[in-house]
Chain A
């Protein structure tokens, strides 16, 4: 379960004076997504979608309010427990955020290695997911040797390889052609059917209409529609 209760967010500034003057990027956000739920997160650029996802992935702390991620009160956990919780969250970033000195294989294997899975298991799972995203032949390629679409598929493979309990994706189909976008959505819906809670931020309303699901619609830092 993911629950936001009266959540506000203001990005920290260098000085207290700047902090006081900084605008709230999220205001009064309240919603709940049950375990295994699927939500589209929609809204214009600058509406606050990425900030909301940062809170959901524990990379920012709210200024006010309470956030529960997978049943855990996010503000009340130690740094170690926060790291453990992050391992249960798969994230697809808008800018991919791949490690450029690592191969495609090592990028995808990274979450499993951080979770100290054994190498045989890692090899089997990484090979399978890379085959699924159509990159079985590019295991040793570095990100700069791959196209934008291929990099995005690597980022998606990395997010789902550990079978996360919560999958958060920011514009995951932005660099994909229609066929690849369809394959990605099949993968995400398959994970969702297996019990993964999914939140996908997108501008692509065509995609939203093809895969009907409740929406979190944002505007100017507020949630204007839930459901």
Chain B
């Protein structure tokens, strides 16, 4: 309509201007958490995968025993073989203290006094192409019973977990969007019922369907965007708190005053009111235009 100042349909009072933003704010709050969950799980997965995917752990039982080939101990033979193998980088024998610390949760703090045959543990990085699958067979020949654990299998599990979390978050976002659309639709129908007479009057005076639908859509867009903005703002302290909790696992930037949110989240959060506005506008347009079909 030419004059935007006049609220022809009285929508400021008709279209629930408290309930709709509050419900959309709640939806937006949930959406913010879901988006943050997706991004955080992806970041944590990347961090964990980076650490574990390239790592190798070699357990050598009876390390001081005679190696199957040569005259050295089994441990020395394995270390020597690892140092000479292509694709293996930085093989290091884990100290007895480190091994005891790793076993302490299961065997107690006095592992050393139990006189158990604890294997020697060698860590290394896999820098070669492909997977280190052939390594275990080679080491078995030198030192039978030697076990090789690759980080790749853990990384695959972490990747599967991340994908599942992201799928769940995407489902939550879809449900939130559908519920937000339903909320806008119900509010719009309520507004239509309250303003039926006014709509019939301006329809009779020659208003186009678009004139009426645009009025409702503008109001719904404003209320949805405002509600979503509030929801995103309310979510911020919660997200900072969660980021603080996750910081030890994600490796916070040293010297940072407060744990930072992923940069992608700083883009996603302002996008929430925009998405809510689009949902509000589209839903109101469809609802009003459908309803207007009942008029001649």
Which residues of chain A have a CB within 8 Å of any CB of chain B? Answer: 57-61, 79-80, 82-87, 89, 91, 97-99, 101-102, 106, 109-111, 113-119, 158
Asked, given contacts A58-B296, A60-B296, A99-B8, whether A115 binds B206 with beta carbons under 8 Å apart, the answer is: yes
Q: Is the CB of A116 within 8 A of B2?
A: yes
Beyond A84-B206, A98-B201, 8 extra complex contacts between A and B, CB < 8 Å: A86-B206, A99-B10, A99-B198, A99-B202, A109-B3, A111-B205, A116-B1, A118-B2
Bound form: Cα–Cα A83–B292 in Å: 12
Bound form: Cα–Cα A116–B1 in Å: 7
Bound form: Cα–Cα A221–B223 in Å: 48
Leading 8 A-B pairs by shortest Cβ distance: A87-B206, A86-B206, A101-B10, A116-B2, A83-B208, A111-B205, A113-B3, A97-B201
**Inside 8 A of B206's CB, which chain A residues have their CB?**
83-87, 89, 111, 114-115
The answer, yes or no, to whether B98 is at the interface (CB within 8 Å) is no
Bound form: Cα–Cα A87–B209 in Å: 14
Asked, given contacts A60-B296, A113-B2, whether A86 binds B8 with beta carbons under 8 Å apart, the answer is: no
CB nearest to B3 among chain A residues: A113
Residue from A60, A79, A110, A118 within 8 A of B202 (CB atoms): A110
Q: Is the CB of B211 within 8 A of A114?
A: yes
Q: Is the CB of B201 within 8 A of A119?
A: no
Determine which residue in B1, B204, B211 has the highest number of CB atoms from chain A within 10 A of its CB, and name it.
Answer: B204
Give 20 A-B contacts (CB < 8 Å), ordered by A residue: A59-B200, A60-B296, A80-B208, A83-B206, A83-B209, A84-B206, A86-B203, A87-B205, A87-B206, A97-B200, A99-B8, A102-B6, A113-B2, A113-B6, A114-B1, A114-B206, A115-B206, A116-B1, A116-B2, A118-B2
The answer, yes or no, to whether B97 is at the interface (CB within 8 Å) is no
Bound form: Cα–Cα A153–B184 in Å: 39
The answer, yes or no, to whether B245 is at the interface (CB within 8 Å) is no
**Inside 8 A of B295's CB, which chain A residues have their CB?**
59
